[in-house]
Amino acid sequence: MEFKFDKKENSYGLLTVQVAESDFLPEFNRRVKEQAQRANFKGFRQGKVPPSLMKKMVGKDLKMDVFNATVGQAVDNYLKENDIKTMFQPMYKGDFLTPEKLDAEKNFTLEFELMVDPEFDYTLDKRVKVKGYELEVTDQDVENTINKLMETYPNQVDAEAVAEGDSVKAVFKAEANDFEKEAVLELDEKVQDEVKKAFIGKKVGEEVSFDAEKVYEDAKRLRLLFGGDKEEASKFTGTFTAKIENISRKETPALDQEFFDKVLGEGKASNEEEFRAELKKIIGEANEPAIDSTLADAIRTKLLDKTSFELPTDLLKKVMNNSNQNKLSDEEIEEKFPSFEEAVRWRVITNKIFADAELKVEHSEVEAAAGEQIQAQMAQFGMADMEEEQLSQFVQNYLTSENGKYFEQTYEQVYNDKLISYVKEKITVDAEKVDLAQFEEILKASMEDKKKK
């Protein structure tokens, strides 16, 4: 095989490959013979099928497979041996070779388009300034959080008569058919006023009559109340009666030991002062990932703005469309291309920083990160203390499932964490102190900006 590489402008490269039949024919003949020995054809003993017959049976398709594998491996070797670093796999240029043409000709000229890693400079020193945030959890932040928690964890008490907002447990019956079921109706804002008025003031043991189709503005919500399939839902019409069995009302809980244990877990706080201190700590820790993510976004924006190089636009559009099974319309390509190009540009920059800093992502680091994720998930189900051997098995199953999809995701996480940690040490981060309400507004604005892109 003969190779010719032309590096053109905008990181575009064209690799021309001259392939002779002799480059792949020996491997093709070996594969034919191998398959003939394994074949089991009527009229022939095992291993005695003539290779000539095998060629007639599978020759064209097998030759195509061998040709593609041979050329693909040779191109990969050429790029490695000549230290040609590319962002994507080589893109075949021109009409694809058919099995018929491959069978009819002896010599072939192939062209591959490459996006070669561009040459550029970047600046990472204390002159580079990026804005970050430092969260200062205030007493008011803690107070606001306690008020929300009181709404989330109210005390449930039995009430004598129904009031708006109560939960009414009753046996519901349809007058027009045989439907009967015990259910709990929440007299919240979703229930229409006419039905609310029918229930308000009623006591346990009393019956309420109402139009089932007027409970909610959207009658389909009755399936959420009563459950059942579509056939049973057809019975949710006409006049219903509800015999009240229990009336439950939400009350604001006191700041007592029961509430502390309900929110934090048993034994985490024994008085209000300890409870507030623990909440302040939790609020800060819970927002650390968002603080870090905001800084990472700022670093990304700064480096993208300050680092200049050209990319092969037409080739990138081909790559993007190819990654979408070539199903994108011209309009969709133009719409999606800016964000795709930015992602490629960012990856080029980070790859160069990673290489220059001699940073590496070790397999053990990916396993450790996956282990932390799994432990955090298990802790939500009360399984925080997993044995090392059990955790290791979970990690291996996770990283190898979905054809390595989760390994790639976790690798990217570790890659990005290492990169941002390295860059933070090199540049100047101007951290603005903000309280929780201010930071939530910053996050909201950031999300809106991302949606616009």
Q: Collect all residues with Cβ–Cβ distance below 8 Å to 432 and sequence separation of at least 6.
A: 131, 132, 133, 134
Is there a contact between 172 and 183 (Cβ–Cβ < 8 Å)?
yes
The model carries a pTM of 0.77
The verdict on residue 339 lying in a domain is: yes
Task: Kindly tell me if the per-residue pLDDT of 392 is higher than 80.
Answer: yes
Q: Do the strands 428-434 and 129-135 form a parallel or antiparallel pair, or are they unpaired?
A: parallel
pLDDT band at 317 (very low <50, low <70, confident <90, very high): very high
Query: Mean pLDDT across the stretch 212-241?
Result: 90
Same domain, residue pair 101 and 225: no
CATH of the domain at 86: 3.30.70.1050
CATH of the domain at 192: 3.10.50
Same domain, residue pair 40 and 96: yes
Same domain, residue pair 202 and 95: no
Q: Which tokens is 145 given?
A: 């959080």
Query: What distance in Å separates the CA atoms of residue 39 and residue 419, rounded to the nearest whole number?
Result: 53
Query: Mean pLDDT across the stretch 249-278?
Result: 93
The verdict on residue 147 lying in a domain is: no
pLDDT band at 450 (very low <50, low <70, confident <90, very high): confident
Same domain, residue pair 172 and 133: no
pLDDT band at 45 (very low <50, low <70, confident <90, very high): low
- Last residue within a domain, chosen from 204, 233, 251: 251
Is there a contact between 104 and 59 (Cβ–Cβ < 8 Å)?
no
The rounded percent of the chain whose pLDDT value lies above 70 is 97
Q: Collect all residues with Cβ–Cβ distance below 8 Å to 413 and sequence separation of at least 6.
A: 369
pLDDT band at 397 (very low <50, low <70, confident <90, very high): very high
Is there a contact between 276 and 142 (Cβ–Cβ < 8 Å)?
yes
pLDDT band at 47 (very low <50, low <70, confident <90, very high): low
Angle between helix 330-356 and 313-323 (nearest 10): 100
Query: Mean pLDDT across the stretch 129-158?
Result: 94
Which phi and psi (to 5°) does residue 116 adopt? -80, 140
Q: How many C-beta atoms surround the C-beta of residue 186 within 10 A?
A: 13
Q: If 0-12 CB within 10 Å is exposed, 13-18 middle and 19+ buried, where does residue 106 land? A: exposed
Is there a contact between 443 and 142 (Cβ–Cβ < 8 Å)?
no
Same domain, residue pair 167 and 69: no
Task: Kindly tell me if the per-residue pLDDT of 42 is higher than 90.
Answer: no
CATH of the domain at 326: 1.10.3120
3-class DSSP assignment, residue 252 = coil
Q: How many C-beta atoms surround the C-beta of residue 61 within 10 A?
A: 10
Q: If 0-12 CB within 10 Å is exposed, 13-18 middle and 19+ buried, where does residue 402 land? A: exposed
Query: Mean pLDDT across the stretch 372-378?
Result: 87
pLDDT of residue 14: 95
pLDDT of residue 302: 96
| Overall number of domains in the chain | 3
Same domain, residue pair 8 and 90: yes
Is there a contact between 23 and 108 (Cβ–Cβ < 8 Å)?
no
Q: Which domain holds residue 176?
A: 155-251
Mean per-residue pLDDT of the chain: 91
Task: Kindly tell me if the per-residue pLDDT of 36 is higher than 80.
Answer: no
CB burial of 298-332 (b: ≥16 within 10 Å; e: otherwise) equals bbbebbeeebebebbeebbbbbbbeeeeeebeeee
pLDDT band at 367 (very low <50, low <70, confident <90, very high): very high
pLDDT of residue 95: 87
pLDDT band at 380 (very low <50, low <70, confident <90, very high): confident
The verdict on residue 50 lying in a domain is: yes
Q: If 0-12 CB within 10 Å is exposed, 13-18 middle and 19+ buried, where does residue 424 land? A: middle
In the block, residue with structure tokens 């009563």:
226
Q: Report residue 379 CA to chain centroid gap.
A: 21
The verdict on residue 143 lying in a domain is: no
pLDDT of residue 347: 95
pLDDT band at 453 (very low <50, low <70, confident <90, very high): low
Provide the sign of the torsion angle of the four alpha carbons 83, 84, 88, 91, taken in this order: negative
The verdict on residue 212 lying in a domain is: yes
Angle between helix 405-426 and 288-306 (nearest 10): 70
Same domain, residue pair 40 and 182: no
In the block, residue with structure tokens 């229409």:
192
pLDDT of residue 320: 94
pLDDT band at 211 (very low <50, low <70, confident <90, very high): very high
- 18 vs 325, which has greater pLDDT? 18
